[in-house]
Amino acid sequence: MKPKIAFFDFAGCEGDQLQVANLEEKLLDILSHVEVVSFREVMTGHSDDYDIAFVEGSITRPEDEARIKDIRSKAKYLVALGACATIGGVNCIKNFMSPDVYKERVYGTSGRWYSTYAARPLKKVVKVDAELHGCPIDRSEFARVVKELLLGRQPWIPDYPVCVECKKAGNICRYDLGRICLGTITRAGCGACCVTEGAHCWGCRGVAPKANLDAAREAMNKNGFDHKTVRDLLRFFLGDTYAPL
Amino acid sequence: MAKVEKAKTEAAPTPLPAKGKKINVHYLTRVEGHGNIVAEIDAGGKVSVCRWEVPEAPRFFEAMLIGRNYQDVHHITSRICGICSIGHQLSSLQATEDAFGVQISEQTLLLRKLAIHAENLQSHFLHVGYLALPDFMGAASVLPLAASHKEEVLAVVACHRTANRMSDMICGRTIHPQRMVPGGFAKLPTDDDLKNLKAMLEAIVPKAKAILDVVVDVAGNIPKFHRQTEYVALVSDAEYPLYWGEIGSSKTQRRPNQLYKDVTREYCLPQSTAKWTKGVDDSYMVGALSRFNLNHDKLSHLGKEAARKLGLKAPCHNPFMITAAQLVECFHSVEDSLRIIDILLARGIRNETPAPIKTFACKGVGAVEVPRGILFHAYEYDENGRIANADCVIPTNQNHANIQRDLDALLPTLATLSEADIELKLSMLVRAYDPCISCSTHHIDLTGDSNKLVKFIRK
Ligand code: SF4
Ligand code: SF4
Ligand code: SF4
């Protein structure tokens, strides 16, 4: 029997699910090996009987916890999809403000009606079996991870920093251009695509287990980046991550 | 090509069960984000409940922007919506550049127009091909169609893939792209990229025509339902505007983008609403059909031809035809992109750096047409170039009230159908709007607190 897979989302932009839809022909290929029982974004119909649950988005409200726990209890395997789900991502920017302030900013006097709490990644609420990093996730990494899951293997995710891939891609280091970059501490797997495309790394794939924080701090200090610049960058995706730079 | 079977949506009227009918679509499928339809018809065939509900999981983007540096802002707002991330970036960049008085180069302008075409193509092909077509063909999703209409589905896949590749080539990535920055581009496509892109776009024209044939074939299944409303879109004397224009309306005069609050009427400030909203209804539509209704005469040749084949004539008051208007826009976007690429190739891509920016305390507004309609970003910056105030007004939020009004008008005409058929028709209507409810910035309440049109449920 084909394994049944389902997609769910919490607070996010649905960009990661869109990346899955964007696999085009490869998706049709994957679909011949699995049965999609729930993918609200592209199909009608839903079933509670699934083996692998892919979950996008952060937990941002107390009510969300019941729903993710329910999904967890039904899934044999739960995969977090994208930065919002794996590390909290952009949603955590608001964690540094008082809820009263951001609610009033956006909803005025009716702000108090809205239930919300500090945004957090899935793993703070339920057990997560595998994580697909990135904002958005990388299409080919998704295809590879699904393949490995179907073969019954724990998917391999790089544990070294983006700099490794960046050097391989032949980019000029942003620090040599007088710019800041988080590739020094961020988990690889994206091929340093943001540097290649003219930007810098924002850290969307979370902190690499093998990152050398001291060396990263040193590079920032030596190049004269002040506390505020570094803080801004760390509060892009890494608001929920402990990364003392 | 395989003839498409007529969908079985026009089922025979079923006698009313004594207890009436209840429709409860919890989390409408094949849309981005969550929305519910709740409807009840009593035993006498009278509509007792008809509600479009939008469950909210607010993400507080406008608050998150406070204090952020002008260089980061568009990368943050990009994350409001995966499908419209290019549009969010462009509207955001426009607002920032408007604030600091930055003049972008002509090359940047042309490349940004290509970027918005790429996004439009990507989103429209996804909606027309993957999300709406199954409705017209009586299928639950594109997956069964992949078996029964392989050739057509492959055409959709090819067009969608080309649109995605186009985003990659111009912006760096399809979702949350990296190349666009205030003042220009951090990395430019090469002439060779543009030549490849040109060939790719030319190659999808016949494929898009094959999709058009399928849609023309099933056009008879598109429900005939008409309700006139106000149509709002960017307008320009020069072109069919997507990137640049003024706010146009089918019911009132043009306004500069800076007066967007008079259109959205989010705040009932007497000094800004009095002049413009008089005589305008309590709901309006934005998106492909609005753009078509206001700007159809500026469509490219292929766009006009597609409209003719689809029987789409302005003014069209049938919201189910939004899908048709999207397909028309696909042809326009392909043809206009080819025109822009020719201009760029004729002079060659120049190695420009982004325009320099000097920060000071100021305000700015950006307005672009994203696939689902007009998108406004408005910022106030402090003298260090950090956001002091931000407001983002998203198309779907502007459409919510209109969706509700359409449901109100449509439901009574369906009273004799079975519950399943009513549910399908109501879902099709909402899906036609291609709503993108995940874009949670804040919701617009056109009517004020006392008399809410759309129910925003806090669950
Ligand atoms: S991780 Fe990024 S792409 Fe994925 S849902 Fe969050 S904001 Fe969207
Ligand atoms: S710091 Fe950034 S630019 Fe430099 S090598 Fe690492 S990833 Fe590349
Ligand atoms: S370069 Fe950095 S920000 Fe870009 S995708 Fe890779 S990890 Fe994410």
A103 touches chain B (CB under 8 A): yes
> Which pLDDT belongs to residue A30?
85
Ligand 1 contacts CB of residue A82 (under 6 A): yes
Q: How many CA atoms lie within 13 A of B387 on its CB side?
A: 29
Q: What is the mean pLDDT of residues A102-113?
A: 67
Task: Decide if pLDDT at A179 tops 70.
Answer: yes
Q: What is the mean pLDDT of residues B392-406?
A: 85
Taking CA atoms, B366 is separated from A87, B90, B289, in Å, by 31, 8, 22
A108-117, B188-197, B269-278: range with lowest mean pLDDT: B269-278
Judge: A14–B83 Cβ closer than 8 Å, yes or no: yes
> Which pLDDT belongs to residue B279?
31
Question: Nearest Cα to B394, choosing from B365, B427, B370?
Answer: B370
Q: Which two tokens stand for residue A189?
A: 């797997």
Task: Decide if pLDDT at B270 tops 80.
Answer: no
First to last CA, chain B: 48
CA dihedral (B179, B377, A234, B388) positive or negative: positive
Distance CA B67, CA B168 (A): 30
Rounded to the nearest 10 degrees, the angle between the axes of helix B191-218 and helix B150-171 is 150
Distance CA B349, CA A34 (A): 45
Task: Decide if pLDDT at A161 tops 80.
Answer: yes
Task: Kindly provide the b/e burial profile for residues B69-90, where b requires at least 16 CB atoms within 10 angstroms of the residue's own CB.
Answer: bbebbbbbbbbbbbbbbbbbbb
Residues composing chain B: 459
> Which pLDDT belongs to residue B455?
52
Judge: A93–B66 Cβ closer than 8 Å, yes or no: no
Which chain A residue is nearest to residue B55, measuring alpha carbons?
A114
How many angstroms away from the CA of A199 is the closest CA of chain B? Answer: 6
> Which pLDDT belongs to residue B459?
36
Task: Decide if pLDDT at B80 tops 50.
Answer: yes
> Which pLDDT belongs to residue A108?
66
B29 touches chain A (CB under 8 A): yes
Q: How many Å separate Cα B157 from the centre of its chain?
A: 20
Judge: A14–B82 Cβ closer than 8 Å, yes or no: yes
The residue among A87, A106, A142 with the most chain B CBs within 10 A of its CB, best to mutate, is: A106
Percentage helix, strand, coil for chain B under 3-state DSSP, each rounded to 5: 45, 15, 40
What percentage of residues in chain B have a pLDDT greater than 90? 56
DSSP string, A128-195: -SEEE-BTTB-HHHHHHHHHHHHTTPPPP---SBHHHHHHHHTPPPGGGGT---STTTBB--STTHHH
Rounded to the nearest 10 degrees, the angle between the axes of helix B191-218 and helix B301-310 is 10
How many angstroms away from the CA of B236 is the closest CA of chain A? Answer: 31
pLDDT in tens, B89-137: 999 999 999 999 999 999 999 999 999 999 999 999 988 888 788 877 8
What amino acid is encoded at A111 in this protein? G
Considering only residues B459 and A112, tell me which one the structure prediction assigns the higher pLDDT: A112
- φ/ψ of B254, rounded to 5, equals -65, 150
Which chain B residue is nearest to residue A16, measuring alpha carbons?
B82
pLDDT in tens, B309-322: 999 999 999 999 99
Q: Which atom of ligand 2 is nearest to the CA of A183?
A: 7
Cβ neighbour number for residue A134 with a 10 Å cutoff: 28
Question: Nearest Cα to A84, choosing from A69, A63, A113, A64?
Answer: A64
A43-57, A200-214, B348-362: range with lowest mean pLDDT: A43-57
pLDDT in tens, A47-85: 788 999 999 999 998 888 999 999 999 999 999 999 999
Q: Which domain holds residue B348?
A: 61-440
Task: Decide if pLDDT at B219 tops 90.
Answer: no
How far is the centre of ligand 3, averaged over its atoms, from the C-alpha of A71 (Å)?
29
Nearest CA to ligand 3 atom 5: A190
How many angstroms away from the CA of A186 is the closest CA of chain B? Answer: 17
> Which pLDDT belongs to residue B89?
97
Q: Do the Cβ atoms of B282 and B230 come closer than 8 Å?
A: no
Distance CA A16, CA A155 (A): 18
On the question of a cis peptide bond just before residue A136, with omega within 30 degrees of 0, the verdict is yes
Q: What is the mean pLDDT of residues B279-283?
A: 63
> Which pLDDT belongs to residue B374?
94
User: Is B56 inside a domain boundary?
Assistant: no
* pTM for the full predicted model: 0.91
Judge: B82–A114 Cβ closer than 8 Å, yes or no: no
In chain A, the domains with their CATH numbers are 4-150 (3.40.50.700), 162-238 (no CATH)
User: Is B41 inside a domain boundary?
Assistant: no
Report strand pairing: B387-393 vs B455-457: unpaired
3-state secondary structure of B220: helix
Q: Do the Cβ atoms of B91 and B377 come closer than 8 Å?
A: yes
Average pLDDT, chain B: 85
Which chain B residue is nearest to residue A42, measuring alpha carbons?
B30
Q: Do the Cβ atoms of A23 and A39 come closer than 8 Å?
A: no
A60-69, B184-193, B255-264, B351-360: range with lowest mean pLDDT: B255-264
A110-119, A171-180, B363-372: range with lowest mean pLDDT: A110-119
What percentage of residues in chain A have a pLDDT greater than 90? 65
Task: Decide if pLDDT at A94 tops 80.
Answer: yes
Q: Name all residues whose Cβ lies below 6 A of ligand 3.
A: A 134, 162, 186, 190, 192-195, 201-205
Those residues whose C-beta lies under 8 Å from the C-beta of residue A55, and which sit 6 or more positions away, are A7, A8, A9, A10, A68, A71, A78, A79, A80, A81, A85, A122
Which chain B residue is nearest to residue A201, measuring alpha carbons?
B178
Distance CA A131, CA A122 (A): 10
Distance CA B175, CA B120 (A): 13
Residues 67-96 of A with CB under 8 A from B: 89-91, 93-94
Task: Decide if pLDDT at B181 tops 70.
Answer: yes
CB contacts of A44 in chain B (<8 Å) are: 29-30, 134, 140-141
Residues 424-453 of B with CB under 8 A from A: 438-442, 449
Question: H-type helices in B219-321, by residue range?
Answer: 260-264, 270-273, 288-295, 301-310
User: Is B140 inside a domain boundary?
Assistant: yes
How far is the centre of ligand 3, averaged over its atoms, from the C-alpha of B362 (Å)?
32
Considering only residues B40 and B2, tell me which one the structure prediction assigns the higher pLDDT: B40
Question: Nearest Cα to B444, choosing from B407, B390, B393?
Answer: B393
Judge: A93–B64 Cβ closer than 8 Å, yes or no: yes
B83 touches chain A (CB under 8 A): yes
What amino acid is encoded at B68 in this protein? R
Cβ neighbour number for residue A49 with a 10 Å cutoff: 10
Q: Which two tokens stand for residue B242?
A: 């997507």
Judge: B458–A115 Cβ closer than 8 Å, yes or no: yes
Give the pLDDT band (50/70/90) at residue B7: very low
Task: Decide if pLDDT at B34 tops 80.
Answer: no
Residues 167-196 of A with CB under 8 A from B: 193-194
User: Is B33 inside a domain boundary?
Assistant: no
Considering only residues A1 and B424, tell me which one the structure prediction assigns the higher pLDDT: B424
Give the pLDDT band (50/70/90) at residue B327: very high
Judge: B62–A105 Cβ closer than 8 Å, yes or no: yes
How far is the centre of ligand 3, averaged over its atoms, from the C-alpha of A194 (Å)?
6
Q: Based on the structure, what is the number of domains in chain B?
A: 1
Q: What is the mean pLDDT of residues B204-209?
A: 96
> Which pLDDT belongs to residue A113?
60
> Which pLDDT belongs to residue B169?
97
Task: Decide if pLDDT at A208 tops 50.
Answer: yes
Ligand 1 contacts CB of residue A130 (under 6 A): no
What CATH number is attached to the domain comprising B232? 1.10.645.10
User: Is B55 inside a domain boundary?
Assistant: no
Which chain B residue is nearest to residue A113, measuring alpha carbons?
B458
> Which pLDDT belongs to residue B86?
97
> Which pLDDT belongs to residue B277?
31
Task: Decide if pLDDT at B276 tops 60.
Answer: no
Distance CA B335, CA B347 (A): 19
> Which pLDDT belongs to residue A42?
67
Judge: A197–B64 Cβ closer than 8 Å, yes or no: no
Distance CA B170, CA B189 (A): 6
Judge: B64–A94 Cβ closer than 8 Å, yes or no: yes
User: Is B399 inside a domain boundary?
Assistant: yes
CB contacts of B80 in chain A (<8 Å) are: 13
How far is the centre of ligand 1, averaged over its atoms, from the C-alpha of A133 (Å)?
10
Judge: A64–B57 Cβ closer than 8 Å, yes or no: yes
> Which pLDDT belongs to residue A22?
87
Q: What is the mean pLDDT of residues A215-242?
A: 92
Report strand pairing: B47-55 vs B455-457: parallel
- The ipTM value here is 0.94
> Which pLDDT belongs to residue B10?
43
Q: What is the mean pLDDT of residues B71-90?
A: 95
User: Is B9 inside a domain boundary?
Assistant: no
Q: Which atom of ligand 3 is nearest to the CA of A134?
A: 8
> Which pLDDT belongs to residue B283?
83
Residues 142-161 of B with CB under 8 A from A: 142-143, 146, 157, 160-161
Question: H-type helices in B360-438, by residue range?
Answer: 395-410, 419-432
- Structure-token match 């024209």, residue found: B205
B60 touches chain A (CB under 8 A): yes
